[in-house]
Structure 1
Amino acid sequence: MLRLRSCIVTHLLSSPTASPISSLRRLLSAAPAVSTSPSFAVEDYLVGTCGLTRAQALKASTKLSHLKSPSKPDAVVAFLAGLGFSSADVAAAVAKNPKLLCMGVERTLAPMVAELTGLGLSRSEIASLFLLSSVKIRLRSIVSKVQYYLTLLGSSENLLRAIKRSYYLLTSDLERVTKLNVAFLQECGLGACDIAKLCIRAPCILSINPQRFRKGVELAKGLDVPCSSGAFIDALESVTYLSEEKMATQAEYLKKAFRWSDAETRIAISKAPSLLRRSKDMLQSRSEFLISEVGLEPAYIAHRPSLVNYSPEGRTRPRYYAVKFLKANGLLDLDRDYFSTVTISEKVFLEKYICPHKEAAPHLAEDYAAACKGEVPSRLKFP
């Protein structure tokens, strides 16, 4: 019996074009009545039909010990296949949430899919939404939340991006948490686009207790970061998870590591609030590179603090070596600003600083590529 059921479900997984319900009814109607014999082995079913590894199945089976037949699990797996789930998708969803196999198809899953379709989501988008949020989701509340976030974020694509970052959007209390936080941001002057950007970039922030959230917003304002600026998102991310004491300690360390005055420290934090979340080891190594090796003045860095966030290994050091080589060989103006060479994209950097010098410096491209991998060719070394 289990083998027959497995064959039916396998067929469904390989033919997801038919509707979930019609395929399920058509194919399972031909199967003999299901026995409720205690011989049904959940662990074997999870491996053979759902595609879990033996270790995953052993862990998941503890939550499905009450199952005595494959009837309900077969229906769920067939339904997921009808949504467009691949065998790997089914395995991932069941591994995350084994109790998914106990849900009713016609009473719970099918109505939910019908309502989501009514909101304009495609079958593939619904499958992605279901897979991303299958861990701790309450299916009965998903439709109202999706409807709200579609309006807030402007598109199903943005919704899926946000949920991929944090499924808490669909588990947080919409009325008592999320909507209150959004309303407070609106009171602070943030427009719909700004709130959407915040939600996509750091969706878990909107799930924070409203009282704590308000305090975080006020602290972010205290960093002299305008609510309408892109840095405000960084500020809110930073202060929401840090105590005022930790913020003060981090600011003092920044001041010491980069030899900044109080005013310069405040300027740097207002421009790049994410510095408050960086480790001391990272800050110290960036300081040594920018000040001791590159020779930048502390005040220069304070007014361009994003320099600290770029990785020396993958970006700032290779570019520094390449530009220094070009200047030393008279191929580039000596007054070329370092900040401008760091902030441009890799594609633009290659087009402006590497490709034009193929004849004058035939090994530069090769040496620069090596520097990006952590090697420093002798031709790029200068006293």
Structure 2
Amino acid sequence: MLRLRSSVLAHLLSSPSTSHVSPLNRLLSCAVPHISSNPSFAVEDYLVGTCGLTRAQALKASTKLSHLKSPTNPDAVLAFLADLGLSSAAVAATVAKDPQLLCASVERTLAPIVVGLTGLGLSRSEIARLASVVPGSFRCSSIVSNLPYNLLLFSSYDNLLKALKLHTNLLGCSLEKVVKPNVAFLRQCGLSACDITKLCSNATWVLTINPERLPVLVARAEGLGVPRGTTMFTHALQAVVCLSEEKIAAQVDNLKKAFGWSDADVRIAISKHPLLLTRSSDILRRRSEFLISEVGLEPAYIAHRPAMICYSLEGRLKPRYYVVKFLKENGLLDRDRSYYYAFQMTEKVFLEKFICPHSEAAPHLAEDYAAACRGELPTRFIFS
């Protein structure tokens, strides 16, 4: 029945009204009998049985739909989403994200939004993707007026969707009061259009934050020694947005204690990798014990290459260290070869540089490396 209503809905939405009674009203009155109150209607069961949510998702979502007394409107919304092209799984995920979408009026809200988005040049598949990513904004008419500016800002529809996945309320945020003032300030900071696009793609919250707070955060990011417009500036903003000045000061002390760094070392490390400030004391301690005590790196050397502190200890640092040490011990690699060189490269390049060339001289190396990545320590990687 849902499929039937879906196809009929598409036809009626695209047909002009010929009377004071809209096509959609005729559809709903015929397809689903109006029920003002249905004592037997159970929202949680409906979410599971009809929408496809898990019981846990339905329990959480039902708290926002306690006022629903009938499946009439939710049925119309589900039919509408199906007609847009959303699969059953996509519909379930969309409803789980925003249960209140089931309360939106198809005729007064959803259909006009689709018409508006179509008028902007979006295809039905693009509209369907948008609905599934930002269902909350999809029931706000401002999505139509806000979309062109954001498309221009992010330079492509795909880039915008990626940003929306990080910050779903972007299209519902006021352009004139929030988004445009923040973009204008970033331009005053010397960031080019390309810089702003890159920044906002990784830190979309920059566009929706209170415009009075953004200059404060930019100043604090610069105070970490990270110039505006650099690659690390985004990370610096991410760090300061979630840390107070007191927490930053405490983290600086943690870094000094963990790595034996001077004030100068800390400034160098943070300027090169601001997200060090977000790492826990336990992570810092364990990285320090491994890099300094086991690998034998000097504190100052680490300060100039702080990214290695943020690499996975078990999944990256240790397995690659064992491989490089094995190759050195067996005369297959120059003893002066830097461990950091092996740490910082991608997995594909590491395999090409350190594993594949030694398949004959060390036939078990690939197998041992895979075991080390799983947290095991092959006997061949144990050195006296």
Q: What TM-score results when the alignment is normalised by the length of structure 1?
A: 0.89
In the TM superposition, residue 175 of structure 1 has moved relative to its aligned partner by 2.1
Partner of residue 164, structure 2: 163
1:267 aligns with 2:268: yes
SS at match of 1:167: coil
In the TM superposition, residue 146 of structure 1 has moved relative to its aligned partner by 1.9
In the TM superposition, residue 311 of structure 1 has moved relative to its aligned partner by 1.0
Distance in 2 between residues matched to 1:370 and 1:79, nearest whole Å? 50
Distance in 2 between residues matched to 1:19 and 1:289, nearest whole Å? 66
Letter in 1 for 2:281: K
Distance in 2 between residues matched to 1:57 and 1:315, nearest whole Å? 39
Distance in 1 between residues matched to 2:46 and 2:30, nearest whole Å? 17
Distance in 1 between residues matched to 2:137 and 2:121, nearest whole Å? 24
Partner of residue 3, structure 1: none
In the TM superposition, residue 34 of structure 1 has moved relative to its aligned partner by 1.5
Distance in 2 between residues matched to 1:307 and 1:142, nearest whole Å? 42
Within 5 A, what are the aligned runs for 1:17-166? Answer: 21=13, 28=27, 31=30, 34-36=33-35, 38-39=37-38, 41-43=41-43, 44-54=45-55, 56-57=57-58, 60-61=61-62, 63-64=64-65, 66-67=67-68, 69-135=70-136, 139-166=140-167
C-alpha spacing 1:37/1:115, structure 2 compared with 1 (3 Å): closer
Letter in 2 for 1:333: D
Partner of residue 285, structure 2: 284
Distance in 2 between residues matched to 1:374 and 1:66, nearest whole Å? 51
In the TM superposition, residue 376 of structure 1 has moved relative to its aligned partner by 0.8
Distance in 2 between residues matched to 1:51 and 1:184, nearest whole Å? 45
- Contact 1:16–1:81 at 8 Å: present in 2 too? no
Q: What TM-score results when the alignment is normalised by the length of structure 2?
A: 0.89
Letter in 2 for 1:296: L
Q: Compute the RMSD of aligned alpha carbons.
A: 2.7
Partner of residue 233, structure 2: 232
Distance in 1 between residues matched to 2:266 and 2:90, nearest whole Å? 48
In the TM superposition, residue 16 of structure 1 has moved relative to its aligned partner by 11
Distance in 2 between residues matched to 1:107 and 1:28, nearest whole Å? 14
Structure 1 range deviating more: 245-254 or 284-293: 245-254
Partner of residue 2, structure 2: 9
Q: Encode CA deviations 1:289-324: one digit per residue, 9 max, x unaligned.
A: 111110001111111111111112111111111001
- Contact 2:178–2:209 at 8 Å: present in 1 too? yes
Letter in 2 for 1:143: V
Distance in 2 between residues matched to 1:280 and 1:55, nearest whole Å? 34
Structure 1 range deviating more: 31-40 or 359-368: 31-40
Partner of residue 20, structure 2: none
Distance in 2 between residues matched to 1:177 and 1:204, nearest whole Å? 11
- Contact 1:20–1:82 at 8 Å: present in 2 too? no
Distance in 1 between residues matched to 2:31 and 2:379, nearest whole Å? 76
- Contact 1:18–1:82 at 8 Å: present in 2 too? yes
Structure 2: 5+ residue stretches without partners: 16-22
Q: Encode CA deviations 1:92-119: one digit per residue, 9 max, x unaligned.
A: 2233333322322232111211222233
Partner of residue 207, structure 2: 206
Distance in 2 between residues matched to 1:74 and 1:109, nearest whole Å? 14
Structure 1: 5+ residue stretches without partners: 1-7
C-alpha spacing 1:30/1:259, structure 2 compared with 1 (3 Å): closer
Partner of residue 304, structure 1: 305
Q: Encode CA deviations 1:101-157: one digit per residue, 9 max, x unaligned.
A: 232223211121122223333322221221221246651111222222111100110
Letter in 1 for 2:200: C
